[in-house]
Structure 1
């Protein structure tokens, strides 16, 4: 069954000087509308999540909040294993082969469910090894780890992405998010222990899974009609393993700083650092939403007109750099004020960490677009090596800097390693010199349009 047609009368209400760019460009309108839904979703989540998250951080204090963040980092490192690096591949295959969508979706779900269950067990074993005498950390990881299993239902999200109709996913996930946020507020009001907040994460994913099933059914589709195909599973895994390894390495160097801080410093330092990370990551959804919305069109452009493909890619890089600077500069100027206003004096030490982290986001934002380019070129193995270089540098820098500088050292390690993985390492591979120069040009001359 096809999705119901979309009413795009909203085009007539935008200013006339912009309307010309939209009229009679249905694919462009579709991408813009899809981005609009995703933006609205992220902005809503950002606002509510920030308020609730700050309330939780103030209630728990740096030490307990740090322990919760430590557990979340352990789970985060295994989330890439649960996803199996299949996102872009599944969306691409659903676009190219709609007649096989039941097999594609069914195989993807089964692979992800199995990977999630295995990841859950390994995450618990890992925290037991790292903190063998800390039963509270074991409990938090055990409770929060259910998100790895419930995440398999995000396969439905990929189906909606392939049709550039993310509003249905927004409905489902926002309902779960609101319910879980109210639950978290209740936990603060009734002064529940930290494990309750770990449970809230798992409950949110469970509710989101139910919501996705409901909207999928509403669109005339049936989860029960999905079929597993062993040969397709082998084919998908054979293509996705470089992306899986890249995802694992990426999540390691995205979360390893908080794990290292928890091992080399203490939970309080993790809590202060986590507060800085939360602020630095608030706006990171913007480049992800933009790139996810245009990714199918990037692939089509590459197939039809290579020069047009590179022209659009340069515009994308320019926009990513502009977004990065637009976030980093004001955050740098207001870091101390923002941290104290949101989290209170107990977290004041997070301000210098925030400054370093927000500048690392400039390169992370560019890397989102660069990764889309690598996937369009079918260079997933190159992507793996780029991320691996960044991860190794991040681990080594953390080992050197954290014992001496604590959270500030972890933030500095992130800044350097993000530049290496997102930009600097591209110059080491000759076929990437062109895109390296394009990224450099974007950093020097960012543009909004």
Structure 2
């Protein structure tokens, strides 16, 4: 199979698996959050965030390193896999014991502690799954990884549905995460043994030292990202309680789902950016066109969700999450920022500015912790939401500054004026009609009006939309 066909196949598989897993994930999170209520869902969210910070130490960039090396030389697969699995067993034991010790020291109730212990075990199994996924990626067999993601989502959805039907408690919900990760691990081991290599445990201390040393550049970035995405929930739990974590994570999970759009888009244009590395004019065209397209999409999402935040929260989570409405109205400001952050970060990562990007991520993590420390005690979930928005805004500013300084200048007016004008008109129309028209119908109507206006007003957007449509139609 040719290179282009391989890329197309892998992109399609990952896109389909991402859409299906995100959709099922959205359904089971909505179902679980409604059943458990804000406090119960807050306990689960805290456990996921707390163990998520520790999970990065299980990997520390080793998976990314193995993808890079095994992709170049398949003969080293067994050596890497066997040593990494053994290394992760040892690190996993240390990480799990550390979690136990910290939870003993922190003053949490028995239910929360037990849920953390179960979720932590699930996180350890997921770390082994990610290692095996890296083998699939190295061999460009994304279908096995896609199946694994979908399988996990199906297991979680089925488990949550069964738990609600049987009226089970929160601890049983934690076991759903554990059972899903174990079954997924069994699937990964079976596929690995049949299609690739039979895994064994191996100890090569010299190789371990080299492996950890080489993985440091990958691992540091992962640590800062993990802290940034999880520390707000942990700090909210410690300072305000788990019910606040539940109220905060309800809109936060919606934001994370919406971020799959720029993630897929930027992943698809990375090869093109890399190919045009030495052509500044082409780089500018790719970046500016993508900037305008992603900003236009994010602006529509911002307008619709900001206007109908109350209806959306009540429709998805129920009346128990009323305090989440204001948090969503603040958090939604992060969507236009992060859509451009995904693009700018990906651009810098493939144009030789990885070190600068790592420094930005580090500063973001530090700044986010400080802001949460200052804002959460006074403004609780609104403070955590504001900290997220301000942190992302600073990160985007630093990334765009680097692009302007080292690559090309950008005109904010050319890139943002037409989307802002069209978005402003849709906002005004929707705002005037929202009291008399059903919010679902009005959001669909507003989206269509916005799309038509933008396609008519901007030739670049029109070209991108029709190119994407034709590409999608061709693949279908």
The reply to whether TM is greater than 0.5 is: yes
Q: 1:444 aligns with which of 413, 416, 431?
A: 416
CA distance in 2, matches of 1:137, 1:443: 48
Q: 1:72 aligns with which of 43, 48, 57?
A: 48
CA distance in 2, matches of 1:379, 1:180: 39
Structure 2 CA distance for partners of 1:105 and 1:314, relative to 1, 3 Å = farther
The CA deviation at 1:293 is 5.4
CA distance in 2, matches of 1:230, 1:310: 47
Structure 2 CA distance for partners of 1:363 and 1:230, relative to 1, 3 Å = farther
CA distance in 2, matches of 1:363, 1:189: 40
The CA deviation at 1:407 is 0.7
Matched, 1:175 2:158: no
Matched, 1:286 2:265: no
Give the equivalent residue in structure 2 for 1:86. 62
TM-score, normalising length: structure 2: 0.78
Give the equivalent residue in structure 2 for 1:433. 405
Structure 1 gap ranges (5+): 6-25
- Post-superposition CA distance 1:399-433 (Å, at most 9, x none): 22212211111101100011222x123367x6873
Q: 2:334 aligns with which of 360, 363, 370?
A: 360
Give the equivalent residue in structure 1 for 2:221. 246
Structure 2 CA distance for partners of 1:411 and 1:172, relative to 1, 3 Å = same
CA distance in 1, matches of 2:357, 2:94: 25
The CA deviation at 1:211 is 1.6
- Post-superposition CA distance 1:202-257 (Å, at most 9, x none): 22111111222233344x31233786654444334223213322222221121111
Matched, 1:221 2:193: no
> Does the CA contact (< 8 Å) of 1:103 and 1:229 recur in 2?
no
| SS class of match (1:146) | helix
The CA deviation at 1:340 is 0.6
Task: Please identify, of 33-42 and 331-340, the stretch whose mean Cα deviation from structure 2 is larger.
Answer: 33-42
Q: 1:203 aligns with which of 179, 185, 210?
A: 179
The CA deviation at 1:326 is 4.5
Matched, 1:424 2:424: no
Matched, 1:124 2:97: no
| SS class of match (2:61) | coil
- Post-superposition CA distance 1:347-383 (Å, at most 9, x none): 1221221132232243334333444344435554433
The CA deviation at 1:199 is 1.4
Task: Please identify, of 191-200 and 360-369, the stretch whose mean Cα deviation from structure 2 is larger.
Answer: 360-369
Structure 2 gap ranges (5+): 420-459, 465-476
The CA deviation at 1:38 is 1.8
CA distance in 2, matches of 1:142, 1:382: 37
CA distance in 2, matches of 1:123, 1:320: 40
Output the aligned Cα RMSD.
Answer: 3.1
> Does the CA contact (< 8 Å) of 2:314 and 2:322 recur in 1?
yes
Structure 2 CA distance for partners of 1:438 and 1:233, relative to 1, 3 Å = farther
- Post-superposition CA distance 1:158-210 (Å, at most 9, x none): 22223443222122332233123212211111111111111111221111112
Structure 2 CA distance for partners of 1:442 and 1:206, relative to 1, 3 Å = farther
> Does the CA contact (< 8 Å) of 2:280 and 2:407 recur in 1?
no
The CA deviation at 1:339 is 0.5
Give the equivalent residue in structure 2 for 1:337. 311
Structure 2 CA distance for partners of 1:328 and 1:80, relative to 1, 3 Å = farther
Matched, 1:50 2:23: no
Matched, 1:188 2:164: yes
